């Protein structure tokens, strides 16, 4: 993949996460919260670790981008075709990692995918719309963060709506 910012080639593979990736995946999520000024911290770092260990890694399909034994991005996917998380470390954004992970999710569920994103996350909205997702519903913040959000849905081209 070619990094838009630097023009350098970035080598990475997409693979299923293993238990040894848990800490790096949790760090990616926690770092995103710390870097995002509109996102409230509602769970302590330790609680996030416990949730990822007991729920996400135990019950969902977790995929990571692996770059020379570093995990710069992750995607979590429920058995109900919901993307529950897609996060990329800030220094690796716009390098193709999110798109590669999203394409993996589309292969897992070729009939369609759903996801929620916050209205304040305009970059994510642009990304998902560019990748063929459409708005299904918007809320005024009926979630634990109390932030307005958007439900997106993707169907393959040519599928009936």
Top-confidence residue, 5 or 22: 22
Top pLDDT among 67 and 9 is at: 67
Output DSSP code: residue 56.
I
- Summarize pLDDT for 76-112 with one digit per residue, the tens: 999 999 999 999 999 999 899 999 999 999 999 999 9
Averaged pLDDT, 44-54: 97
pLDDT value for 161? 53
Averaged pLDDT for residues 3-21: 78
The C-alpha angle 75, 76, 77, rounded to 5 degrees, equals: 120
Q: What is the pLDDT of residue 4?
A: 47
Q: What sign results for the dihedral spanned by CA atoms 131, 32, 91, 119?
A: positive
pTM over 0.85, yes/no: yes
For the chain, give the mean pLDDT.
93
Instruction: Please name each of the domains of the chain with its CATH number.
Output: 13-154 (3.40.630.30)
> How crowded is residue 131: how many other Cβ atoms within 10 Å of its Cβ?
15
Count of CB atoms situated within 10 Å of the CB of 132: 15
Q: Tell me if 70 sits within 8 A of 85, measured CB to CB.
A: no
């Amino acid at each position: 993949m070619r990094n838009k910012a630097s023009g350098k080639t970035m080598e990475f593979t997409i693979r299923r996460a293993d238990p040894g990736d848990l800490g790096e995946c949790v760090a990616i999520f926690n770092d995103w919260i710390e870097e995002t000024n509109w996102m409230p911290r509602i769970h302590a770092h330790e609680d996030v670790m416990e949730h990822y260990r007991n729920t996400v890694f135990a019950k969902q399909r977790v995929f990571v981008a692996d770059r020379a034994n570093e995990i710069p991005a992750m995607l979590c996917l429920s058995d109900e075709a919901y993307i529950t998380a897609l996060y990329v470390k800030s220094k690796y954004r716009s390098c193709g990692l999110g798109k590669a992970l999203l394409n993996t999710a589309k292969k897992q569920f070729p009939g369609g995918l759903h996801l929620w994103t916050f209205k304040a996350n305009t970059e994510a909205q642009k990304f998902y719309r560019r990748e063929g997702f459409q708005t299904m519903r918007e809320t005024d913040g009926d979630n634990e963060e109390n932030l307005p959000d958007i439900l997106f849905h993707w169907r393959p081209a040519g599928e009936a709506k």
